[in-house]
Amino acid sequence: MTEQTTDEPAPDQLASHRSRLTFHGPLGEERAAGFVARLAATEPKSVLDIGCGWGELSLRLLAAAPGATGIGIDLLDRDLDRGRALAVRRGLADRMEYLNESATGTQRGPADVVLCVGSGQALSDAPAPDQYGEALKELRRLVNPGGRVLYGEGFWERRPQPDELARMWPGAKPDDHLPLDGMVEAAVQAGFRVEWLEVASQEEWDQFEAGYLADVEVWLAANADHPKAAKLRADADRQRVSYLTGYRGILGLVYLTLVPVE
């Protein structure tokens, strides 16, 4: 998502990488279980995960839908390797494929369930706010008739003030995100009806932001004089301040379960 700024892996000495995160986003166990139950009830045979990371949600869905196979697409090998290891550990390696490739214009669909949680930018290089409508049109192309799309995307809880924008990510602008009603309208205009709408809680956000930095923070505490520590420390400090003084309580994340209109 737009606000994350510390995407580069830590140095080799930092063995763990986002290990405190179960999901790569503000998503708690109870909400995730609801997603899995709702999507598995449609009896999918195919799952496509755009910007999958390590594909935790896909793996849980495959476990709940024994007849399904999945494909996860991402560009970060470290996350893909973690996903492959998880798939082996859970006995799902023969049903889940992880691919390092761009999702732009992907021909990996259509699928019965398409997951795109915090990864809409992978589907369109259009500038915001047009990016959201373009991403939703791509998701409409990638889902089978009668299937489901789980789309997670940032939105403005309220319009940020100039001083708040200045404390967010570099170059943050008022049109970086839509309001909630704008996100829903973009989904309808792309050819969907909204089966379910949920918004990430503040607790989910706080746990995600803490988990995102936890491995780096622990490493920095033990390696303050490492040659690469200065940059990692600056990145981590910038991310923390950006969240706590900038977008916390202003940037939300909506989860839309979408049904394609036939």
Q: Which domain holds residue 166?
A: 29-201+250-260
Quickly state the pLDDT bin for 17 (edges 50, 70, 90).
confident
Q: What is the pLDDT of residues 248-262, one digit of tens each?
A: 999 999 999 999 999
Number of domains comprising the chain:
1
CB-CB contact of 103 with 135 (8 Å): no
What is the CATH classification number for the domain harbouring 137?
3.40.50.150
pLDDT score, position 129: 92
Nearest to 68 by CA among 43, 85, 93, 87: 43
Assigned domain for 39 exists: yes
Give the mean model confidence (pLDDT) for residues 50-57. 97
Q: What is the pLDDT of residues 96-135, one digit of tens each?
A: 999 999 999 999 999 999 999 999 999 999 999 999 999 9
| pTM for the structure as a whole | 0.93
pLDDT score, position 16: 64
Answer yes or no: is pLDDT of 2 > 50. no
The two tokens of residue 141 are 């192309």
Answer yes or no: is pLDDT of 1 > 60. no
DSSP per-residue letters across 170-214:
TT--GGGS-BHHHHHHHHHHTTEEEEEEEE--HHHHHHHHHHHHH
Assigned domain for 71 exists: yes
